Structure formats: structure tokens, C-alpha cells
Amino acid sequence: MCGITGYIGDNKTTDILIDGLRRLEYRGYDSCGIAVVDAKNRLYLKRVSGRVDALDKLVAADPAKGAHSGVGHTRWATHGAPSEDNAHPHTDCSSEVVVVHNGIIENYLDLKDKLLAAGHKFKSETDTEVIPHLIEEKLKSLHVQEKAVRSDMLEPVFFEAFRRAVADLKGSFAIAVVWARCPGMVLAARLHSPLVIGLGKGENFIASDVSAFLKHTKRVVFMNDGEMAAVKKDGVDFYTFQGKKTAREAVTIQWDSTMAEKGGYKHFMLKEIHEQAEAVENTLRGRLLPLGGDILKAEMGLSAEAMKAFSSVQFIACGTAYHAALVGRCLFENFGIPAYADVASEFTDRAKLMAPNTLVMAISQSGETADTLFAVREAKASGAKVLSITNTVGSTLTRESDYVLYTHCGPEIGVASTKAFLGQLAAIYLLGGHFAAVRGRLPGGDARRYAEDLLKIPRLIEETLEKETEIAKVADGFAASEHFLFISRHINYPIALEGALKIKEISYVHAEGYAAGEMKHGPIAIIYKGMPLLAVAPSGRTLELMAGNIEEAKARGAEVIAIVDQASQKTVKASRYIVLPSTDELFTPMLTVIPLQIFAYYVALAKKCDIDKPRNLAKSVTVR
């Protein structure tokens, strides 16, 4: 939630900040702004209620003169409605200290009361605005009077005032701040909200994630919780919140900046749907054969002995990642391994009740989802080991986990998760195969067959994607519907949930995903004549039951669109079919979800919705 950019160097500061914001817009997009210090040490501040394009126009109409440092922000509102006044950056009373912030300052009401009593004037309803006023207050306490500080003392004074202000904050924050009187240094601090420093030559960058500055540098330092950074043109120093200097190593990011561009597609979502075969292939590559755990031991230190010893697996995740978790639960249970899946925000008391030696598997594309991180902390506090499945190198989740398995999907920009989901499924099948093999559940030939079938999935995904035009036509026919039902069973039940989530989030229509067996326990009552019902019915152990459920829905007037394979098509009677290539029943979720993603995309397109930036949503949900 919310994207932060910061820059210091000799290139055009406003362009760099705005370009970075454009690349972070997926994190929040209800308002945005930038602030830079111009050549005369004056603060230049522009904010808009709306998108980065509007900010760009505003800046172009009245450009800053000679700026070499500044900060930017694109917002997903928490405290205070989306408006220009509530947009970041926020300033102190003197309009010299300017702050951008991601996260929530939990004690802001207390701080605000004190600052109001001290005479500070507030201009917004945000929690963030306490930060610049607090820094101003700390500057005063360091006896910074009008122009009274020696120029060589400005940086240490600014740093100390910031450090003291940060020490007063409770909650979660990533902060970047400039002080107009000290334009040679941008300060940053991080606690439970991501922040990364990009190291350039004669220039340095700050951002919520690397995609903001990848085209300038791939050398980065992921800031730790409880860490501050003093970012200057020629170098960056890191400190603890107590002011102790720390040594940090830079890492080089493998992602290419073009990966975060649309590459000729109308939307990131469609591009990312088409990148799914690659996402699965990259996630599986070199990690599958031979099944038995040695590969996992080498990659993440998880030994075969440990895999054997875990009593059960507890998945935790949110949203689409939770649907991957549900697939994981079915898969592990299929191998006789007790498995549970919970939405991270509802994990609550479960952490304390887990069986001894449970392995927690946390799934998160961003690795920054606050609910997932909180649940992981609870699980760790109860003594569990945590294995995380994530797409984001250096994310908070990776640092709080005992074992990390990266999905290799490349950056996912569309708010509606698609290729990250396929990457998560691939990682789950990979882990499931290794766990089953070491626990004797996939003996000999079975293990080989499992791996071979899994390795064929990228090609089958490509074949499925060839159905795009056909699926688009079906979607067009239902674009005016306001209600959609999705049903399936067992390992495809999570796919019904995912189909409903996709269409809800990008088309704003009412959609429900149900376990098909549940329909006659209530939901069947909502079916009316012509209601679109998407039934995921591949060949397998639940097919006969699914065929019966489809008949029941049709008898009440539902227009059934069946997602089938050639064999199951013979059993299922529907108005329309989307016929997928065949694979082992266990692996079908990696194919069946694709027509549902494409269907949701084309319904949203027909409705002219803002597909990559759906209303009210943000890509990375870093508040609880």
C-alpha cells in the first residue's frame, strides 16, 4: 500500500521521481505527489488527487528549477479520504521539512495532541503529517533557529532530529524525508514496511520496491526493520534507530526493467496471463529431478530428515495466495500428509494450537502482506518453523522465515494476481512432490511420472492460452451480467474461489465461488434464469458428482459454461464448453484457472474497467 520514491543526484529529479511513481502506481493510486528542493533551497511541492499522469501534467506546466534531491509518493488511503490535502508529501509548519510515508503511525493521535498543544498547525487528516511536525519540533529542541546553524552542522543536526522523531513513532512505517535547508541528504527509515535503496554512480535512489529504479541501477540494499539510511549523492550510510552505524552489503537484482513494462499488451494483467507458462517453467527449473529432497536441501537448507519429521503442514496466506494454499492443502492431504490452510488474518488462536513440529508454509507474492507477516510471527512465537513461498527477493517475509522457496515469475504489476498464482502453484507442486517422495508416498516410478507430468505443464499452459479468442467471445456474451457463480470440487474448488475473486476485483460485479456440493445447502436459491455459472469439471474422481451439480443448476435456469477436457466433456452437459488439454487430475488447477482469468479480463474489458488498477485496491496490502 502506497509507493515511495526518493532521489539524490545530478539527473532530472522530478522526472526520476515521477517515472518511479508510475512504476509503483500498482501499490496505490488514489492520490500522489512529489517534493524537491530547488537550486535556491526552496521547497517545490506538487500534489494531486488522482493518478501519476495528472501529477506529471501539473509538474510539466510549472517545472522545478535545478533540483537535485526529492521524494515522491503514490497513495492508498488509510487515514483521511483521497484528496489533494491528504496526498503526500506532507510538510511541517515552516514548509521546510517534507515527508512521504507508507504504513500506519499507531500513536499519531497522541503525538498530534502534543504537537497541537505546542502550536503546530495541521493541514491534513492523515497520520503521516505528525512526522514532519515532529521533526520540526526536534530541530527546535536542537536549537535550530532561523539560519543559525553552521552549514557543516546541518547534516548531523538533520540526522539527529530525524532519529529522535523516529524514536517517538509507533506502528509500521517506511519514511523518506528531505529538509530544504540540507538538500545534499535524503533520510529514510524503515519499520515493518518495505524500503529499498538503489545504488547508482553519483546518484542514489529510495523506493518501496526495486521496480521504481531498475532502469537506473540493479545494485540494491534492502533496508532492515529498525534501520535508518542517510542517502547522499556519493554514498549511503546505514544506522540503527539508536544511531549506531551498520555495514550493509549490496545485492544485484536479476530482474530486467523491461520485465516491468507492458511489451505491447493493452494491460499488465493480459501480459502476465501470457507469461504464466514461463513463470511455471522458471519456478520448476532445476528443482524437480530427482524428487527426494536433495535439491531443496541445497537451495534452502531443508533436509530430507526434517521433511520426514514434520507432523503436519499449516498454510497461511491472503487473497489469491490463499487459494494457492487451499490447492496445497488438497495436494498434501492427497499424499497422506495432514495439512491445513487458513486465511492469515483469521489465523489468530490457531498458532498456539498447532500440533508440535508443524511446518508453516506462508505464501505471498510480495512477501510484504501485513496479515501474512503477522501470522508468521505468531507461528514462530509458538515454536513453528516457517517456509515461505514468495516472488520477492529481500522481502520482509524472506527475512523472517527459516526456509525460502522463491517463485521465479518476474515482477507482477497488475493488481489482479495471475502469473504469481501459477508460480505459487508450481512451488507447491514442487514441494508436494519432494515431501511425498521422502515420506515414501511417491515410490519409484510414481515419482518419475509425477515429475514428468509436472514438467509438461508449461506446454499445456501455452495450449490453453491459445483458447483466448474463444474465451473472450464467451465472456463478451455475459459482460452485462451482474451476478456470476463459480463451482467446483476438491482440488479445483479453490479455482472456483479464484475465478470469483478475479471477476469481482476487476469488474466490480457480484460473484461467488462455491464447493459444488454446498450448492443445495443454500446458494442454489440465488440461481435465476440466465445466470452465468462457470463449472470447473475436468476428468477425475469428482466428475460424476460435478455433472450432477451442473444438472441441478441448469434445472433452475443457470447458463452453464463448463471448463472441461475432452474426456470430461462427454459427461458434462452445458450450454458452452471451454475444452482444455488433459493432464493428471492433481495438476488440473494450473490449467483450469487460466480460462477463468481470461474470462474475468474480457468481462472487465467490455465493461471498460480500469483493469490494472481496480478501484479501492492496492497490489501490496501492508496494513492489517
Q: Which residues are catalytic?
A: 2, 619
Helix (H, G, I), strand (E, B) or coil at 145: coil
Helices (H), 46-149: 52-61, 108-117, 130-141
385 beta partners: 359
Does residue 130 belong to the site contacting ligand M6R (CB under 6 A)? no
Residue in the block written with cell 509507533? 170
Helix (H, G, I), strand (E, B) or coil at 231: strand
What track of x and - describes contact with ligand M6R for positions 304 through 343 (by CB under 6 A)?
Answer: --------------xxxx----------------------
- Only one of the segments 100-108, 122-130, 165-173, 361-369 lies at the binding site for ligand M6R (rule: CB under 6 A); that segment is 361-369
- DSSP code of 224? P
Which run of H or of E encompasses 488?
strand 483-488
Separation CA 515–CA 536 (nearest Å): 10
Q: In terms of CB distance, is 162 or 374 closer to ligand M6R? A: 374
- Only one of the segments 262-270, 349-357, 363-371, 551-559 lies at the binding site for ligand M6R (rule: CB under 6 A); that segment is 363-371
Q: Count how many residues are written for the chain.
A: 624
Contact with ligand M6R (CB under 6 A) among 128, 172, 364, 539: 364
Binding to ligand M6R (CB under 6 A) within 372-411 occurs at 372
Distance in Å, CB of 140 to ligand M6R, minimum: 41
- Only one of the segments 78-86, 160-168, 346-354, 358-366 lies at the binding site for ligand M6R (rule: CB under 6 A); that segment is 358-366
401 Cβ contact partners less than 8 Å away, ≥ 6 residues apart: 362, 376, 386, 387, 388
Contact with ligand M6R (CB under 6 A) among 417, 542, 549, 592: 417
Separation CA 66–CA 13 (nearest Å): 9
Cis peptide before 290 (omega within 30 of 0): yes
155 Cβ contact partners less than 8 Å away, ≥ 6 residues apart: 182, 184, 185, 230
Q: In terms of CB distance, is 13 or 314 closer to ligand M6R? A: 314
Contact with ligand M6R (CB under 6 A) among 230, 620, 622, 623: 620
Contact with ligand M6R (CB under 6 A) among 366, 549, 569, 592: 366
Q: In terms of CB distance, is 407 or 464 closer to ligand M6R? A: 407
Q: What is the dihedral of CA 561, 564, 569, 572, to 10 degrees?
A: -50
* CB-CB neighbours of 567 under 10 Å: 12
Separation CA 136–CA 121 (nearest Å): 12
Q: In terms of CB distance, is 13 or 401 closer to ligand M6R? A: 401
Residue in the block written with cell 497541537? 116
Q: In terms of CB distance, is 37 or 386 closer to ligand M6R? A: 386
Does residue 208 belong to the site contacting ligand M6R (CB under 6 A)? no
Please count the residues of this chain forming the interface with ligand M6R, following the rule CB under 6 A.
15
Contact with ligand M6R (CB under 6 A) among 86, 282, 365, 396: 365
Distance in Å, CB of 505 to ligand M6R, minimum: 6
Distance in Å, CB of 584 to ligand M6R, minimum: 26
- Only one of the segments 54-62, 261-269, 365-373, 524-532 lies at the binding site for ligand M6R (rule: CB under 6 A); that segment is 365-373
Nearest to 390 by CA among 493, 498, 318, 326: 318
Contact with ligand M6R (CB under 6 A) among 126, 128, 358, 369: 369
φ/ψ of 112, rounded to 5, equals -65, -45
Q: In terms of CB distance, is 2 or 131 closer to ligand M6R? A: 2
Helix-then-strand count for the chain, H and E: 20, 25
Contact with ligand M6R (CB under 6 A) among 36, 359, 461, 621: 621
CA separation, residue 444 to residues 15, 65, 81 (Å)? 59, 70, 60
Distance in Å, CB of 614 to ligand M6R, minimum: 8
Does residue 505 belong to the site contacting ligand M6R (CB under 6 A)? yes
CA separation, residue 384 to residues 155, 351, 362, 390 (Å)? 44, 9, 12, 19
Q: In terms of CB distance, is 9 or 614 closer to ligand M6R? A: 614
Distance in Å, CB of 12 to ligand M6R, minimum: 32
Residues that bind ligand M6R in the complex, under the rule CB under 6 A: 318-321, 364-366, 369, 372, 415-417, 505, 620-621
